[in-house]
Amino acid sequence: MRYIIKELFAEKTRVILTILAIAWGTFAITTMLAIGEGLRLTFAKAVEGVGKNLLTVTAGTTAKTHRGMANNIPLSFTNEDVATISSLANVSHISPIYNFMVRLYYQKKFNSAQIQAVEPMFAQIRKISLKNGRFISPLDIKLRRNVLVLGYNTAKILFPHTDPMNKYVMIGARPFLVIGVVLKKPALVAIDTPDDFLNWIPFTTYKLLVNPKTVDSLIIHYTDQKFLPRLKQEIRGIVALNHGADPDDVALVDFNDIAKQQNSIEKFFIGLQVFLGIVGGLTLLVAGVGIANVMYAAVTRATHEIGIRKALGATSKRILLHYISESLFATFLGGLLGVILSAGLVVLIRLIPLHGKIIEEIGKPLPVLSPLVMVTVIIVLGIFGGLAGLFPAMKATRIDPAEALIYE
């Protein structure tokens, strides 16, 4: 070990420059991966905000004629459809949604906004967080109360300076009590309208006022993603059967599969990680070539000495091990320096205050030196260090002891 250090530093300047190059390469790859990881985690959190295992189902239009059913007939879910779908095995919860656009008034201010008439579970399914007050309760449903949960956007427009809680907002000619205001929510994956632009009332209140025979869409919370394709098929079958349409007609029902969008965003960030890793890896490769160069010079310089070692009984394995460990040691020193620099930079970046619309939207993307990043860096360094040593070491093993002893 002591000997390895001594031999390595025989050509000080060259070795130090090479170790610095490795440090820089490590720094580059570690920092890039840390930033990529930070972005991925931040976006993953934003994506998860919508909720997992969610399927939005909207009634479509017939595209095929089927036993007297014409094509191009728009369909709506009936209460019977909803009852049958909710009894399917993979469905853990189902929530009907009635959408309508309306003008909301408060004193002299107004806002045209979308209202969704939903049930209490909706808040959990869609992970709606309240800034103040509460979401629609089972009692609101039972008593068909005229209560309203304001979305972030409507609350901002109607109540720019005052607290909207317990105020009455007019929907058409009816006063609705504001029982809750929703937190601003990062939404990269939206189901149609972003949550910030929605407002909510109990679906029983809506039914009482309008008495709808049909449901616009359903949010289905399912148990197992594995059986999602089957679930979709079953839903289509039920709708086809109840409405007398062709069960093979894919246009009958529109599915908005959140998991699919989440997956594609996840894939994008994994791709970004790989890309950043490759850029960092190339920087490290250049440094690795530097190590290999220094090691080649060391082997050439040590030809006579390798001859002595072989004469004394050193086998190829011993010589190989000697030069590979020398290379790994240099790589380790550079790598350690690079990781320390990178960790320092990560801490500095975390201290920088970030503002702006996007930051508010998705949260602050902080670089993360996750175990995954560290393991990747260590593996890459190990491979480069090993290879940089391997080729010069193989040259060393081919040295003929008889010739090397004459060579000075």
Partner 1 sequence: MSDTLVKLRDIGKTYTTGKVNYEALRDVNLEIRAGEYVAILGPSGSGKSTLMQIIGCLATPTRGSYLLAGKEIAKLSGDELARIRNCTIGFIFQSFNLLAQLTVLENVALPLFYRGIALHKRQQVAMAVLEKLGLDSHAEHNANELSGGQQQRVAIARALVIEPEIILADEPTGNLDSKSGAEVIALLSQLNGAGKTIITVTHDIKLAEQAKRIIYIYDGRIKNAADGVIEV
Q: How far is the CB of 274 from partner 1 (least distance, A)?
A: 42
CB-side neighbour CA atoms (13 Å) of 91: 20
Asked if 397 and 389 count as a contact pair (C-beta separation under 8 A), the reply is no
Q: How far is the CB of 1 from partner 1 (least distance, A)?
A: 11
CA pair distance 143, 353, nearest whole angstrom: 48
Per CB under 8 A, 12 contacts partner 1: no
Coil, strand or helix at 375: helix
Per CB under 8 A, 405 contacts partner 1: yes
Write out the DSSP string of 346-390: HHHHHHS---SHHHHHH--------HHHHHHHHHHHHHHHHHHHH
Per CB under 8 A, 226 contacts partner 1: no
Coil, strand or helix at 197: helix
Question: By C-beta, is 72 or 300 nearer to partner 1?
Answer: 300
Question: By C-beta, is 236 or 310 nearer to partner 1?
Answer: 310
Coil, strand or helix at 198: strand
Question: By C-beta, is 68 or 408 nearer to partner 1?
Answer: 408
Question: By C-beta, is 120 or 401 nearer to partner 1?
Answer: 401
Question: By C-beta, is 243 or 310 nearer to partner 1?
Answer: 310
Per CB under 8 A, 6 contacts partner 1: yes
Q: Residue written as tokens 């594609």?
A: 264
Question: By C-beta, is 210 or 311 nearer to partner 1?
Answer: 311
Interacting residues of 322 by C-beta distance below 8 A, sequence separation 6+: 4, 393, 396
Q: How far is the CB of 314 from partner 1 (least distance, A)?
A: 5
Q: Are strands 109-118 and 198-202 parallel, antiparallel or unpaired?
A: parallel
Q: How far is the CB of 397 from partner 1 (least distance, A)?
A: 8
Per CB under 8 A, 134 contacts partner 1: no
Size of the site for partner 1 (CB under 8 A): 21
Asked if 106 and 213 count as a contact pair (C-beta separation under 8 A), the reply is no
Question: By C-beta, is 88 or 297 nearer to partner 1?
Answer: 297
Per CB under 8 A, 401 contacts partner 1: yes
Asked if 306 and 407 count as a contact pair (C-beta separation under 8 A), the reply is no
Q: How far is the CB of 311 from partner 1 (least distance, A)?
A: 6
Contact characters 300-339, partner 1, x per CB under 8 A: ----xx--xxxxxxxxxxx---------------------
CA pair distance 369, 371, nearest whole angstrom: 7
Asked if 206 and 102 count as a contact pair (C-beta separation under 8 A), the reply is no
- The one segment of 3-11, 16-24, 163-171, 287-295 that binds partner 1 by CB under 8 A: 3-11
With vertex at residue 342, the alpha carbon angle to CA 338 and CA 346, rounded to the nearest 5 degrees, is 175
Rule CB under 8 A: which residues touch partner 1? 3, 6-7, 304-305, 308-318, 400-402, 405, 408
